[in-house]
Chains A and B, each alone.
Chain A
Amino acid sequence: MNLEKIKSDIEAAVPGCRLQIILNGSPSGQHSLLLGREHAVEIARFLRDDPELRLDYCSNVTGVDWLDSETSEKVKVKKLVDGVEQEVEEVRKTRTPGYLEAVYHLYSMEKKHGPLVLRLRPENRTDHVTLPSLTPVWRSAEFQEREIFDLYGIIFEGHPDLRRILMWDEFEDHPMRKDYVEPNDYEYEPTPHDAVLEKSKQARAIEGQR
């Protein structure tokens, strides 16, 4: 499976779609395709039905919450130092804000190939957290999209039954997000240390005020 070829096939089949290959630098080299939200369902349907690809089995759907990241690179810049033009190395920092992501792993039972990894990213993590649901294309995504909705708070549009699956319905938080703060119930800790020690101190302070 050549990702470049798949990309050009999709572009030919679904005109005007946004696609980007995301390279994986690790030894596994499992590169993936980032899909635009608008055409995701169309692309998914193409991947499933295309006679060459026939990716008929969606084995895994998962969510990822990426933190804000900062990458620094050294750039050579021409500058005037004491009236003389010189090349000076500068460290340029680029900040990428954190984002949520849903990752789909596709295989073909018929052609015995795979996986093809798809990624979908909602616009932001606060108010535009919707993604198109791929459950109408691969039924096996249903529960796993519900899990992502439950734990990451991504809303899947077009999902037939979008409810929480692990936590109770009244629950409001999304526990797998990196900024989730869990309730502090560490008031009884016989051997606290490190993070638990801090939490248990806080819990006891709150307990003392009651």
Chain B
Amino acid sequence: MDLELKEALSRQGIFTTTLEELYNWGRRSSVWPLTFGLACCAIEMIATSMARYDLARFGAEVFRPSPRQADLMIVAGTVTKKMAPQVVRLYNQMPEPKYVIAMGACAISGGPFKQGYNVLKGIDRYIPVDVHIPGCPPRPEALMDAFITLQKKIDAQSLTGADRPRHLNAEEPSEFIVPQYGAHDLEPPKNVKLWNIITKNIPNGPGTASDNEPRKD
């Protein structure tokens, strides 16, 4: 719809909208996060949802204790390799549409534990992340900023077309492989279908040259 016409109409007291806007407005205004904290970042997440910072202003006050009722997973804290399968399983159990915020240095890359043997180097190795927040831990303002960024992202989604969101595309997967405990590491160590997209972007990185095909897992 023409934006000028829309404004002119609204000045005359006529409210016009599109189904897409209405649909996205409804989704973004009531995102229910999963009650789920892994480490110290969770304390900041709890603070964000409490009276002082009040995430309820953005429509995300209902933290659900069950993945079946949640839309948003805030991965708040260090994901150890022992915990990673459970995180992925919880994500798989969430119904579409679902979103992920990776909160803090550990969740996005492994953080200070990156060179250890037991911490996953970023949860985006196994599940698609919508917003990454750096920080150790990020302040509640940063989490709110990430949340607003997510709302903008939801608002910008179109319901039709090739770039429509995953939950409207029957061919896109909504579940991802749950890693198994191996003898030396998690098996597989990453979800290549997700991770290749990222590594392709680094110059001289893997995936640029011969082999662009996702490996079968």
Contacts and interface: CB of A to CB of B under 8 A. Distances in A.
Contacts of A167: 82, 118
B168 interface: no
A207 B206 contact: yes
Nearest to A206: B206
A7 B207 CA distance: 65
Interface string B56-86: 0000000000000000000000000110000
Contacts of A173: 183-184
B206 A187 contact: yes
Given A180-B117, A183-B189, A208-B211, A171 B202 contact: no
Contacts of A95: none
Given A188-B205, A207-B206, A171 B181 contact: yes
A159 B117 CA distance: 26
Contacts of B189: 183, 185
B168 to A, nearest CB: 30
A182 interface: yes
Interface residues of B, number: 27
A185 B121 contact: yes
A93 interface: no
Interface in A158-182: 166-173, 175, 180, 182
Contacts of B198: 188
B206 A172 contact: no
A185 B183 contact: no
Nearest to B207: A207
B32 to A, nearest CB: 31
A207 B199 contact: yes
A105 interface: no
B115 A196 contact: yes
Contacts of A170: 181-183
A210 interface: yes
A169 B210 CA distance: 38
A39 interface: no
Contacts of A207: 199, 206-207
A204 B206 contact: yes
Interface in B157-194: 181-185, 189-190
A180 B198 CA distance: 29
A207 B209 CA distance: 11
Contacts of B117: 175, 180, 182-183
B215 interface: yes
28 contacts: A167-B82, A168-B81, A168-B82, A171-B181, A171-B182, A171-B183, A171-B184, A172-B184, A173-B183, A175-B117, A182-B117, A183-B117, A183-B185, A183-B189, A185-B121, A185-B190, A188-B122, A188-B198, A188-B202, A188-B205, A190-B202, A195-B115, A204-B206, A208-B206, A208-B209, A208-B210, A210-B211, A210-B215
Q: Please give me the 3 A-B residue pairs with the lowest Cβ-Cβ distance, nearest first.
A: A207-B206, A183-B185, A168-B181
Interface of B: 81-82, 115-118, 121-122, 181-185, 189-190, 195, 198-199, 202, 204-207, 209-211, 215
Given A185-B189, A188-B195, 10 more contacts: A167-B82, A168-B81, A175-B117, A182-B116, A183-B117, A188-B121, A188-B205, A196-B115, A207-B206, A208-B209
